[in-house]
Copies of this chain bind each other. A is one copy, B any other.
Amino acid sequence: MLAARVPTTIWARRAEIAENINHKHSNEAYLSGFELSPELRATNELEAAIRGASVIIMAVPSHGYRDVLAQAAAHIPEQTPIISLSKGIEAETLMRMTEVTFDVLPDHDPNVIGVMSGPNLANEIMAGQPAATVVAVANADVRRSVQHMITTSSFRAYTNRDVIGCESAGAVKNAMAIAAGMAAGKGFGDNTLATLVTRALVEMTRLGIAMGGEARTFSGLAGMGDLFATCSSSQSRNHKVGFGLGCGRDLQSIIDDMDMVAEGVKSTRGILALAERHGVEMPIAQGVGAVLYEGLDVAEALQRLMMREARSEFD
């Protein structure tokens, strides 16, 4: 969509994907069935993709983010906006992707490093269904220019200054989507899901504020919006993992059947470490972690959540 409006080059790790995009205007591996804009250029050479770019959009899974950015580093001018779409936490450092960016590029202008986040399932956007996203970056000019660059008749971009809030929400929601999938896999319906998601938002907000985010961001598209879409969608990879677990399947066999990364499987550990660092209580994330890493039974995990002492909704 972007390519129809501004010259856009996509970097693909594999040469055959780049060739397919350039010659057949399709990306069978990741966006099967959709015709891409004939204006979209692709290359498997990182330097060629970045050269002369006025904005760099990083859509690399969190575990590969640092490496890819480090390879590109020498070719990125200090004032070029770098917007991350990645929703994860770096396992070793517990850094958000904008922190990794600044760690790899310490001379870069921090005010042009940001994120884009929201309820943005790729297939639906490609199908032209109405959707919206949030562009969060400190520099107001960058915020507005990226906003205008990506807004179309069916895709609406809102701006927000709160990079930390948007980014932490995006990372935490993946763990929560696993919990939602577990409940669905157990056969529970809309009441259970709504209760889980509401309490998940409370946890997500609590951690995000402790990390430096703003409360209201979590009630917006990058918080509640993305959480809602990911937790109610069987298209979400994290939801699929949870659903399989809820059905009694083995984690490894679920992962083996998927061709894309479910960020939450790894990042839940990082989220729990961040919660501990900031002294924040996150019972749902803990339940997901116990199922993923300690083999706790899903029914037992859900039971523990429901059995917590009944109390005031807002302490």
What is the CA–CA distance of A234 and B150 in the complex, to the nearest angstrom? 33
What is the CA–CA distance of A205 and B221 in the complex, to the nearest angstrom? 15
Q: In the complex, which residue of chain B has the Cβ closest to the Cβ of A189?
A: B124
CB distance from A303 to the nearest CB of B (A): 8
**Contact flag A221-B306 (CB < 8 Å), given A189-B121, A191-B129, A232-B232:** no
Chain A 161-199, CB-CB to B under 8 Å as 1, else 0, gives: 000000000000000000000010000111111110110
Q: Which residues of B contact A220 (CB under 8 A)?
A: 198, 202, 313-314
> Is A100 part of the contact surface with B, judged by Cβ < 8 Å?
no
Judge whether B310 and A192 touch: CB under 8 Å.
no
Judge whether A190 and B235 touch: CB under 8 Å.
yes
Judge whether A119 and B190 touch: CB under 8 Å.
yes
Identify which of A23-31, A152-160, A264-272, A286-294 touches chain B.
Answer: A152-160
Q: Is the interface on chain A under 10, 10 to 19, 20 to 34, or 35 or more residues?
A: 35 or more
Query: Quick one: copies of this chain in the complex?
Result: 2
Partner of A198, one of B127, B154, B228, B306: B228
Q: In the complex, which residue of chain B has the Cβ closest to the Cβ of A143?
A: B312
CB distance from A187 to the nearest CB of B (A): 8
Identify which of A81-89, A107-115, A130-138, A243-251 touches chain B.
Answer: A130-138
**Contact flag A159-B194 (CB < 8 Å), given A121-B189, A202-B219, A302-B130:** no
What is the CA–CA distance of A132 and B219 in the complex, to the nearest angstrom? 20
> Is A139 part of the contact surface with B, judged by Cβ < 8 Å?
no
CB distance from A116 to the nearest CB of B (A): 12
CB distance from A134 to the nearest CB of B (A): 6
Q: Which residues of B contact A307 (CB under 8 A)?
A: 153
Partner of A191, one of B130, B153, B313: B130
**Given A129-B189, A158-B313, A159-B313: 18 more A-B contacts, CB < 8 Å:** A121-B189, A130-B188, A130-B302, A131-B192, A132-B191, A154-B306, A156-B310, A157-B310, A159-B312, A160-B312, A190-B229, A194-B225, A194-B232, A195-B221, A197-B228, A198-B220, A198-B221, A219-B219
Q: Which positions in A face B, CB cutoff 8 Å?
A: 118-121, 124-125, 127, 129-132, 134, 147-148, 151, 153-154, 156-160, 183, 188-195, 197-198, 201-202, 205, 216-221, 224-226, 228-229, 232-233, 235, 302, 306-307, 310-314
